[in-house]
């Protein structure tokens, strides 16, 4: 996208900000300590005021909750923990009424073992649904059929003594992998998508998008070179292999082409329903293959590069360059700054830099994913070992995802308004240094106020979402770039300078080179900025000619 003229017609999702809601932790209205769909509906006005374009909801489907909803027992039922279908329909109506799109999670790779499909499948080798999952005999010398491991670093095969074979599971043994090579599975899972599209959802975030296509011969994965990282953060035993055969087989592409055709059958204009793919791939050419050769697969393959890149000016600029270089013509990149699976951004980059991280996220070209609570600067919660709930954390405490999943702190009180004061929330509530949402609401120096201002600026300057980006020479530790509607459109362009250091840095030269002596208006991460051309420690500023 660097220097390339932007497309003339754009769809809403090509420069959107998508707010990721983790339903368990958003707002509890029925007093069980777990968030629910009604709670999300109550907060739609907050999200509309914030200025995001869409929300994506993590799973709220019927589930034993061993992986907190990613283990689905019934794809077309709302788990009673979160409410019922009427609550979902009301949420959808409320969001649409406020001009917000709604995306939901779609989990193709696995179901819960409690799903009726698996129950039938495991009833015996002759079961009509045996081939809906991946069953194999032991390896010739005994033991699991191959060396594949789960994300927890354990064998991905569990022996089922009742039916006398192993079944495959990329995650918990209670989350068996579906066999997408069986056309009946594909049809049944496409029907799941149709069910929600018929209800009116605007699209899906496709969980573990590369996983449904595995090597048909189930070959062993080769060992990884020492120090290699299969994910964006060290994953212990999982990093010991190159995950060559247990995911991402080339058959994934026809599958997502067909999925796109299904989506398009619901309309292909500006309101086309969309697919966001969860793709942990850091070879950017492989990542970009998920757009499809003719941009006919995923609308938006998610890009987790910012989570893997050191918080440094050079490294960040290099990442953006690499991603944009790998981007197919007319495709738009996505940027993820936080998620329910990763340490919180305010803890990763530090409290002082969190506003800069928000400024970066909302000024990069393409579509941004904002994880709930990051607009408040919520840090990782301190979770005592005996309070760990996450199955990853129960195996390897350092990998626990609980710290990023603590409830939203809405207001004063013992449970910060997340649930009734006398109720124990499912995870402890943490109050960010900037205060609860209510405290930040009218505080001109809060991260919430800044996020709102950035989103408003993004709306009034389309160049921020869809324009070109150019990195500029700047003093060490400062990330400086312009966003312009066209490569040469300097008068409408915005110049962003992020001081990633803890000392003041002059940027007068950068400004003079770009704007000469013109007077400039600013939006800054600090509420106290005057007209100085020196960045305060940790300060980020967006400059525009007046």
Rounded Cα distance between 113 and 286, Å, is 31
Which three-class secondary structure state does DSSP give residue 480?
strand
* Minimum distance of ligand NOJ from residue 127's CB (angstroms): 24
User: Among all chains, which residue has been given the structure tokens 């003093």?
Assistant: 475
Q: Which is nearer to ligand NOJ, 247 or 493 (CB)?
A: 247
Q: Which is nearer to ligand NOJ, 110 or 299 (CB)?
A: 110
Residues 6+ apart with CB under 8 A from 345: 337, 338, 354, 357, 371, 374
Rounded Cα distance between 376 and 19, Å, is 13
* Minimum distance of ligand NOJ from residue 59's CB (angstroms): 8
* Minimum distance of ligand NOJ from residue 319's CB (angstroms): 21
If you write DSSP's letter for every residue of 483-494 in order, what string do you get? Answer: EESSTT-GGG-E
User: Among all chains, which residue has been given the structure tokens 């799973």?
Assistant: 59
Point out which residues bind ligand NOJ (CB under 6 A).
Answer: 67, 70, 107, 171, 207-208, 278, 340-341
Which three-class secondary structure state does DSSP give residue 506?
strand
Q: Counting beta carbons within 10 angstroms of the beta carbon of residue 93, is it exposed (0 to 12), middle (13 to 18) or buried (19 or more)?
A: middle
Q: Regarding beta strands 203-206 and 274-277, do their DSSP bridges make them parallel or antiparallel, or are they unpaired? A: parallel
* Minimum distance of ligand NOJ from residue 172's CB (angstroms): 9
Contact between residue 264 and residue 295 where contact means Cβ atoms under 8 Å apart: no
Angle at 538 between CA 532 and CA 543, to 5 degrees: 45
Rounded Cα distance between 422 and 406, Å, is 17
Q: Which is nearer to ligand NOJ, 38 or 405 (CB)?
A: 405
Q: Which is nearer to ligand NOJ, 208 or 455 (CB)?
A: 208
Rounded Cα distance between 127 and 420, Å, is 48
* Minimum distance of ligand NOJ from residue 94's CB (angstroms): 25
Contact between residue 416 and residue 376 where contact means Cβ atoms under 8 Å apart: no
Contact between residue 47 and residue 55 where contact means Cβ atoms under 8 Å apart: yes
Residue 413: other Cβ atoms inside 10 A: 14
* Minimum distance of ligand NOJ from residue 331's CB (angstroms): 23
Q: Which is nearer to ligand NOJ, 208 or 263 (CB)?
A: 208
Catalytic site positions: 207, 272
Q: Which contacts qualify for 230-234: CB closer than 8 Å, 24 or more apart? A: 230/280, 231/280, 232/280, 232/282, 232/304, 232/305, 232/307, 232/308, 232/342, 233/307, 233/308, 233/342, 233/343
Nearest alpha-carbon partner for 121 in 132, 107, 109, 106? 132
* Minimum distance of ligand NOJ from residue 366's CB (angstroms): 21
Rounded Cα distance between 338 and 212, Å, is 24
Residue nearest to ligand NOJ (CB): 70
Q: Regarding beta strands 367-371 and 334-336, do their DSSP bridges make them parallel or antiparallel, or are they unpaired? A: parallel
Q: Which is nearer to ligand NOJ, 207 or 239 (CB)?
A: 207
* Minimum distance of ligand NOJ from residue 129's CB (angstroms): 21
* Minimum distance of ligand NOJ from residue 221's CB (angstroms): 19
Q: Which is nearer to ligand NOJ, 15 or 105 (CB)?
A: 105
Q: Which is nearer to ligand NOJ, 63 or 363 (CB)?
A: 63
Q: Which is nearer to ligand NOJ, 186 or 340 (CB)?
A: 340
Rounded Cα distance between 63 and 191, Å, is 19
């Amino acid at each position: 996208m660097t220097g390339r003229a932007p497309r003339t017609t754009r769809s809403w999702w090509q420069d959107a900000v998508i707010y990721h809601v983790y339903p368990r932790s958003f707002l509890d209205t029925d007093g069980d300590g777990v968030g629910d769909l009604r709670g999300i509906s109550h907060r739609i006005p907050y999200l509309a005021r914030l200025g995001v374009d869409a929300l994506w909801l993590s799973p709220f489907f019927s589930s034993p909750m061993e992986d907190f909803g990613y283990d689905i027992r019934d794809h077309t039922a709302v788990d009673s923990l979160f409410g019922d279908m009427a609550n979902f329909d009301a949420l959808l109506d409320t969001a649409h009424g406020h001009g917000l799109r709604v995306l939901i999670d779609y989990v193709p790779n696995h179901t819960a073992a409690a799903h009726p499909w698996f129950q039938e499948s495991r009833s015996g080798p002759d079961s009509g649904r045996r081939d809906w999952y991946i069953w194999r005999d032991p390896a010739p010398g005994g033991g699991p059929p191959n060396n594949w491991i789960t994300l927890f670093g354990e064998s991905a095969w569990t022996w089922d003594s009742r039916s006398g074979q192993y079944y495959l599971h990329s995650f918990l043994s209670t989350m068996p992998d579906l066999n997408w090579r069986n056309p009946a599975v594909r049809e049944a899972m496409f029907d799941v998508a149709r069910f929600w599209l018929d209800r009116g959802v605007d699209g899906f975030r496709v969980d573990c998008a590369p996983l449904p296509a595995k090597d048909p011969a189930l070959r062993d994965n080769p060992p990884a070179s020492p120090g290699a990282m299969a994910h964006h953060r060290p994953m212990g035993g999982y990093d010991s292999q190159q995950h060559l055969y247990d995911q991402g087989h080339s058959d994934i592409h026809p599958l997502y082409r067909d999925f796109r055709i299904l989506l398009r059958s619901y309309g292909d204009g500006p309101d086309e329903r969309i697919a966001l793919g969860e793709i942990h791939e850091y070879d950017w050419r492989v990542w970009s293959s998920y757009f499809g050769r003719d941009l006919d697969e995923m609308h938006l393959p998610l890009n987790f590069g910012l989570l893997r890149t050191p918080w440094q000016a050079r490294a960040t600029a290099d990442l953006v360059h690499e991603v944009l270089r790998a981007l197919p013509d007319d495709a738009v990149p996505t940027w993820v700054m936080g998620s329910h699976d990763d340490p919180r951004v305010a803890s990763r980059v530090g409290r002082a830099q969190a506003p800069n991280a928000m400024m970066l996220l909302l000024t990069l070209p393409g579509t941004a994913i904002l994880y709930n609570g990051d607009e408040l600067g919520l840090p990782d919660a301190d979770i005592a070992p005996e309070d760990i709930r996450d199955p990853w954390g129960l195996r390897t405490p350092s990998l626990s995802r609980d710290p990023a999943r603590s409830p939203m702190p809405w207001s004063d009180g013992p449970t910060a308004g997340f649930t009734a004061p006398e109720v124990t929330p499912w995870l402890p509530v943490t109050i960010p240094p900037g205060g609860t949402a209510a405290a930040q609401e009218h505080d001109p120096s809060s991260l919430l106020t800044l996020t709102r201002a950035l989103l408003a600026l993004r709306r009034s300057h389309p160049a921020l979402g869809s324009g070109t980006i150019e990195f500029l020479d700047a003093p060490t530790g400062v990330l400086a770039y312009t966003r312009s509607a066209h490569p040469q459109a300097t008068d409408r362009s915005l110049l962003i300078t992020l001081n990633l250091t803890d000392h003041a840095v002059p940027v007068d030269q950068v400004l003079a080179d770009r704007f000469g002596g013109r007077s400039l208006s600013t939006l800054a991460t600090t509420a106290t900025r005057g007209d100085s051309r020196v960045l305060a420690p940790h300060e980020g500023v967006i400059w525009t000619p007046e």
